[in-house]
Structure 1
Amino acid sequence: MAHDSGGLSREEFLRVQEQLIELRNRNYELQEELKRKSNEISQLSNSHSTKSDALQFASKLISRSKDKDSAKYEVEIENLQRKLATQEEEFRLQQETLFAEINKITSMNEGLKKASEISPENEGNSTLDAEYQSLKSELEKSKVRIEELEQKSTTLQELLAAEQAKKLEQDSLIHGLENQLLECRAEMETNEKEAAKKAQDLEADQCMLNMMVELKKYQDERETMIKSYKEMENSLEVQSELVQKNQKLEKSVDYLSQNLEESKRHFEEIQMKYNSLVENEQQKINQSVESALKEYRDQALITENKFQLVKISYRFFSTYLKIQEVSDMRKEFEKERDELLLKIRRLEDKISAKDEEKNMALKKQTALMKELQRSLKEERKRADSLEKKSEEKAGWHVVGQDMETRSSHTFDGNESISSLSALESDNVELINRLTTLQSLHHESVSRVNLSILLFLKLKFVAKPLGN
């Protein structure tokens, strides 16, 4: 089938349908890849957990948030799958309606062909007017529909090119995300090593707590010694010993307080580093999930646009078939018009020949009538002259001769009478032939008028088709 400007042929339509199937398969592959990546993320997050209580608590929080996000994403994916299924069902129903419309148009075309095969004599002027007006309105509607479809097809082709560019960008983004996942794995391995170091730091913190407990014990001992010092203040030796012990205890307390402050600062630094690492990991996980979800949404939008493009291409193909059928009908009408013109010319030739024959017959008839009238006058004159001669002669011999002449005269008169009756019968035959010729002339004139009316209507319909 020929390819019009701005339209799609059947091969291109099948190619677009194959691309649509490939995109749908690609969509399923991306869903499986998204699930696989989410499983890898969950495995990496589970392997990142350490023996310490703080790290286990953080991993639990991360897994809870990840489960919530994954549940939300699964709900969105299910909604998108339902939407895709409804779109496929709508596409199927629209395809069925389009095929039904095509069958309806073909049946209408067959009916019009059968109606065009019937001779114009058996058709009425009202049915012809109705059919031509309906054909003209359908042609105008199809022209307007073709212009709209051409505009839509150009816009959709531009959108298709933009979507293909977006698809290339998305492929590059997927490649970048895969690289980021590899980097995240490496960072997680380093984080595991750092977590082991942090566990050692936590053991140091435990030692610091033990030192605080010892410091408290020393403070308690100091208080007990102060109490004992108050009880033994009368003894100078005990006082000097207590002073020395007090100095030693103050030095040890200062040393322990310094160690405590350093351990607090170190613990705060470790806590800040740990919180920053947890936040970075959480941000990376959220970014990877968001990028994957965005990619899936973009892919779903592309598939929806493809469905719309295929729908419009179906409609355009149906209108193209209608135009082809109308052009075929126009060719058939032109052929019938040429045949009618030939018939008209033949009828005109026949009419002219019949007119000539009629004129010749009338001329012959007038000539015969004149000849008969002339012969009748001559016979009457002869009969009158013979009567006069018979009256002038006398005697039986003369009478016998006169009787012979009269018998001969009657014989000639009978001949004239028989010729006159033959002429009258010929005249009647000519009159009957003239009436038949007049009826044929009347029928041919009515047929010529009907063919001229049909020719004018065909010319009126062919003008917008030529434009």
Structure 2
Amino acid sequence: MAQALSEEEFQRMQAQLLELRTNNYQLSDELRKNGVELASLRQKVAYLDKEFSKAQKALSKSKKAQEVEVLLSENEMLQAKLHSQEEDFRLQNSTLMAEFSKLCNQMEQLEQENQQLKEGAAGAEAIQAGPHVDGELLRLQAENTALQKNVAALQERYGKEVVKSSIVSEGQGDPTGSLAPTVLTPMPLAEVELKWEMEKEEKRLLWEQLQGLESSKQAETSRLQEELAKLSEKLKKKQESFCRLQSEKETLFNDSRNKIEELQQRKEADLKAQLARTQKLQQELEAANQSLAELRDQRQGERLEHAAALRALQDQVSVQSADAQEQVEGLLAENNALRTSLAALEQIQTAKTQELNVLREQTTELTSELQQRQAEYEDLMGQKDDLNSQLQESLQQQQQEQEETLKQCQEQHATELKGKEEELQNVRDQLQQAQEERDGHLKTICSLKQEVKDTVDGQRILEKKGSAALKDLKRQLHLERKRADKLQERLQDILTNSKSRSGLEELVLSEMNSPSRTQTGDSSSISSFSYREILREKESSAAPARSLSSSPQAQPPRPAELSDEEVAELFQRLAETQQEKWMLEEKVKHLEVSSASMAEDLCRKSAIIETYVMDSRIDVSVAAGHTDRSGLGSVLRDLVKPGDENLREMNKKLQNMLEEQLTKNMHLHKDMEVLSQEIVRLSKECVGSPDPDLEPGEAN
């Protein structure tokens, strides 16, 4: 293979190798820088997390302040409720006191009346002066009882007198004249007794009434006293709760006020401290800038002096470096082993750049805080102080070091010349080894290219097979849709026509003799499925039914045999078959979409494999006979140096990824075959579903 390459191709490959080397160096530098940036960004993120936790603590404190405000508002609400309850209680107390005063007045009046009745002074006048009806009733009741007693007493006396008079009349001749004055004399005494008994009875009734009133008044007073005791207990409880709430409110208010004052004092102290720090830092910056300007002026004068001495040495070194550069160009071939890992490094770089972008966005949002800037500013001031001390020390040491460096440069120059000669010899040996390795790797590249071409051709063949199967299915679907549309139009005509039974028979016969059935058998063959044989079997099974229906002599016409129920069943079956056909069409469409997406997936993955294999350059020292089971995996395994663990892990991941892609491609091929069989089965059901529904109607 090395002899077959022309000089132009060899030069082109060398130019590509140089470009890859430069790109590799750039990428390694960028990776190193990105790693440093990642470390710094992670530190910043950790610092920002700490600041965020501090901010959350401050927020929690502010939430506590908000809770204190909520408690204050609740205390105000409770105070308003207490005021309203106190007003209600005062109203209730005032009403109760008014009622109690009324009852006391009534009791005093009753006691006065009772005393007046006990004294007995002017009882009749009091009865007459009383405007109430109760007094008259009492007087009348007492008078009635007294009169009844007097009547009884008079009757007894009269009876006694009659007995006595009868006895006397029997003993004497004419006793009437003597008895008349005796009977008339006790009349005023009887009236006095009557009045006395009336008053006595009236007083007794009044006494009973007074006792009843006193008992009722005592019961009412006891009830009112109990209510007063209950209300006083409620008042005490409410006053205690009010006092407790008032004390709690005052304590909370004092605590919140103290906390707010402390927070304000802390904020003011922090602001003052920060302002003082910024002023001090500005003053220190100005002084440092002045000192740096003075030091720069001194250093420029010293550099001019050293530049004259160094130019003489550089002229000597330039002559030697020209010779060494030629030797170094030969050494650059060693770095060609890293060119194949550039693709993987680019992927890692893209992933890390994405992470960096995310981290940068986070840092740009978080770096706007004031505390981080102050911390960075303090760090810078510390670095400035360190630099000032280092500069002062370096200024003192430079004079001594410059004299020593001149002597050391001469000694090093002599030693470097000897080392360069030895390196030239080593480089020549390495160039010979690199040429041998290049020949071996060119052979492996050719074998890998052939394997990739074979895989690409196989995938193209599979894609062509899948596209042909899809075209056949689409053509069958188109024919089935046409046939379904015709059947639907005929069904509508039959439904509108009065002679539905004869129309139904024509529809069945036209369905059996439709050209779409015969045409589909000539042009559909997918994945070892013979669609013609199925149609021939159906036509052979339908042939005796057609012969029977076509011969009018053998049996009477079909519309006379079909009943209304059978016709309705046939219509229902036709509707069900039509719905099933629509469902199958939707399934076929879904399968078409999925197969198209699978084909696109296969094309994309094959392109990825081609790019990985065709763009890779293999220049690592590995024997040509050690090829792996999968050629691409062996190439990726040989790309890595023995000492580079990161590249080895990355190549292992790439190898696993490629093996997974190959296994997925195998599974996709199997799935394509299964899908083609499923599509053929569905098309078979779509075509064959109307016949079983129509054959029972023909048999009837």
Both proteins in one fold, TM over 0.5? no
Which one scores higher on RCO, CA 8 angstroms, separation ≥ 6?
A: 1
TM-score (norm 1): 0.39
Higher helix share: 1
TM-score (norm 2): 0.28
